[in-house]
Amino acid sequence: MSDISTTPAIATRFEHRFNHEIDALNQGKLYDPFAFLGPHQVSEDEYELKVFIPGAQQVFYQDKNQQLRYQRIGTSDLFVLSLTTKQYNADYQLTIAYPFATLVEQDPYKFSSTLDANAVYLFNEGTLEQAQRHLGAHWTITNNVEGVRFTVWAPNAASVSLIGNFNHWNTTRHPMRKHPGAGIWEIFIADIADSEHDNNYKFSIITENGERLEKADPFASSMQLPPQTASCVPTKARSAVWQQSPAQAWAQRAERNATNAPISIYEVHAGSWKRDENNHFLSYQAMSEQLVPYVKELGFTHIQLMPISEFPFDGSWGYQPVGLFAPTSRFGSLTDFQFFVDACHEANIGLLIDWVPGHFPADAHGLAQFDGSHLFEHADKRQGFHPDWKTHIFNYDRAEVRSFLISNALAWFDNFAIDGLRVDAVASMLYLDYSRKEGEWIPNKYGGRENLGAIELLKQVNQRCYKNHPGIMMVAEESTAWPGVTNFTDQGGLGFGYKWNMGWMNDSLEYMSCDPLYRQHHHHEMTFSLAYAFSENFILPLSHDEVVHGKGSLLEKMPGDDWQKFANLRAYYGFMWAHPGKKLLFMGCEFAQRAEWNHNQSLDWHLLAQSEHQGVQALIKALNNSYCHQTALFELDTDHQGFDWIDASNAEQSVFSFLRYNKAKDEHVVVVSNMTPACQSNYRIGVPSLGDYDVLVNTDDTQFGGSGFATQTSYIAEYVEWQGFTQSICIALPPLSTVYLVPKTNSSALKNKQV
């Protein structure tokens, strides 16, 4: 193998020729590095090869037949080599001699672009569904060489360089190629180890004003553990296309998420459900071993995780994300998170993720002012800045932002096969004047307050998620009377599968916080929800929002002494589990945590040493069990035919009684709630049929911490007309309680199902 170098005369000729490019390279500002660096045929008989390698002492061109030394240009870090066409071999490598090491690397500037032109077109059009497979960091093979392609959208940047620990975070080592029409920058790096922890990177961006920004990758699938802020190159295994679960798993998902299925959701903040003895977070694997069995034991059908897209500040609870495609590394790796998802599904528990497309924080490494311009956020502060949360609002009218958000929603299903997304703060997206005073917002093109871009985005997200992943559930946290949130988009709706019933939550908690003596004056607060209960596919939420910021715990919202607080809460849960709509309960509420939720510590599990807290937990288990096995309590949650009042107007005694029916109308449940401490020894209620009625649930039962006032386990309906029925029963109605009664035939069937 020969060792031939270019002559000093050639180097001198190059030195004067490349002064401008050398200055630009030194500053990381060379606009089109691929037009300058790498191999270029300059004549019919000659190739000119250039590399810019800060810190190198010598650089050699090497192929299977020869080794040729590049000539340093002056004192710069630019090295040049001239070859005849006969000498040039496109499969060459670089041997780089540094002061303390010699490395063999591929020349990144010899590789052509591998971007998919059609995908780029769709991205710029706002319709690309899997943008994360084209932008970000991905293992690929180019010209028979394996490496990682890095791609970023930064159309207004003057230049972009890739930085990472593989190039010692040198901002001048790897300037990227720009695709001017798309605003996308790209580079292929071959010499990267396949490691889950060691390959961290960012994009060094020079703005049009000359400012240097260092940004994490918006499409990164994983990021460093905060407070570190770099993105992580995925391993080859994670970069591969995710393989779908067996058909059986998809069928289970469709069954457990359907509107005629029992859905009881346990909302979890992963950082504070439980911590170890050193107050450290549980890992995804530990949650698989502890949280999943706990949820299964209590009979919940779903877990909903508060946002786990990577976020910098623990106190935001995940609602200010910077890495929308990256499950937070606080609890482990991507593989660990997939293990948790699989553990949920093996237990036939659905998994929902809280998704935040409404806003993002101003952290320097995040999306804000990404390329020095208002790229992801709306430029007009009246549309692009959220006054309550001091965050930026996405520019939903921008096509690439739509591709970004549509792709992100789909990625949770594509990559992890979760069951659904709960979309945060939908109302803040729908209304241009949300939380704004007059003069702080601008109307849409028709003069209205509706955010047309956000509306279209939500429709597109829902349409595409349901089309690509049938059987999922898309859930809107929407607090206004916006019509048709859960209607199909072709019928003028937003296309969600479910909507949180915030009206029910506010009214019912207002009622329950009243002293029972005055509840008769607030009776309508518990009945009004039935006027609209079937206008949407509702979920009844008692979420984290109700137990923070000075609101107190659910237990402490209840009036009276300690016994009455627990009795009120049990009666309320009984009413909720029988009310039309799917259920959602925040962690800790299932055992009546006394203190407000604190994200910095574990739940107060020690309370379960006390019988009254054990009783509430036992009641939740019983309610879930009855709910999941009694079809009348869930089959017609979204249909008025599944509900009838027996007596909605007994305000004087603060008693509510109603019926729930299944679809075939061959099963029904009688529900009676007494919201005062007064006992009713012979309370008569009308019922649909004769025969024996068994007590299915009595929230005052001693096993739940109740008084045990009513010990009778069954009642006989008799021919006494009452409340519009030809037959009725007299029951012992305990104080502050909810009682479920079912015909004995239904009760026997339920026991068989439970066995």
Query: By three-state DSSP, how is residue 142 classified?
Result: strand
- Residues 377, 424, 536, 546: which is the catalytic one? 424
Q: Which amino acid, 725?
A: F
Closest CA to 284 of 197, 325, 236, 342: 342
Q: Residue 219's closest CA among 205, 236, 239? A: 239
Map residue 279 onto helix, strand or coil: coil
DSSP code for 532: T
Candidates 375, 379, 90, 416; CA nearest to 245 is 416
- What is the per-residue DSSP string for 174-240? -BPEEETTTTEEEEEE------SSS-EEEEEEE-TTS-EEEE--TT-S-BPPTT---EEPPPHHHHS
How far is 605 from 272, CA to CA, in rounded Å? 11
Which listed residue (15, 377, 477, 525) is catalytic? 477
**Cα 546 from Cα 541, distance rounded (Å):** 9
β-bridge partners, 184: 153, 179
Phi, psi angle pair for 709, to nearest 5° = -60, -45
The overall longest dimension of the chain from CA atoms, in Å, is: 116
Q: How far apart are CA 209 and CA 157, in angstroms?
A: 9
Cα 446 to Cα 402, 442, 452: the distances in Å are 22, 11, 10
- Distance, CA of 403 to CA of 128 (rounded, Å): 5
Question: Residues 719-753, buried b or exposed e (16+ Cβ, 10 A)?
Answer: eeebeebebbbbbbbbbbbbbbbbbeebbebbeee
Does residue 477 carry a catalytic annotation?
Answer: yes
Contacts with 446 (C-beta within 8 Å, 6 or more apart), sequence order: none
Q: Does the N-terminal peptide bond of residue 735 adopt cis geometry, omega within 30 degrees of 0?
A: no
For 60, 110, 146, 177, 468, the CA distances from 106, given in Å and listed in that order, are 11, 8, 10, 17, 39
Whole-angstrom CA distances from 542 to 201, 255, 480, 491, 504 are 41, 24, 17, 30, 10
The phi, psi pair for 139, rounded to 5°, reads -70, 135
Please provide residue 312's backbone torsions phi and psi, each rounded to the nearest 5 degrees.
-85, -30
User: Which residues in 169-193 are b (16+ Cβ under 10 Å) and which e?
Assistant: ebbbbbbbbbbeebbbbbbbbbbbe
Q: What secondary structure does DSSP assign to 579-640, as a single string?
A: SSSEEEEETTGGGT--SPP-TTS---GGGGGSHHHHHHHHHHHHHHHHHHH-GGGTTTTTSG
Q: Give 61's contacts (C-beta < 8 A, 6+ positions apart).
A: 49, 67, 68, 69, 70, 81, 83, 92, 94
364 vs 156: CA distance, rounded Å: 17
CA distance 143 to 140: 10
Least Cα distance to 698 among 725, 657, 735, 653 occurs for 735
CA within 13 Å, CB half, 191: 14
Q: How far apart are CA 328 and CA 310, in angstroms?
A: 4
- Active-site residue 515, yes or no? no
Of the candidates 636, 615, 601, which has an alpha carbon nearest to the alpha carbon of residue 573? 615
Burial of 256-291, coded b for 16+ CB within 10 Å and e otherwise, reads bbebbbbbbbbbbbbbbbbbeeeeebbbbbbbbeeb
Q: Hey, what amino acid is at 167? A: N
Q: Which residues are catalytic?
A: 424, 477
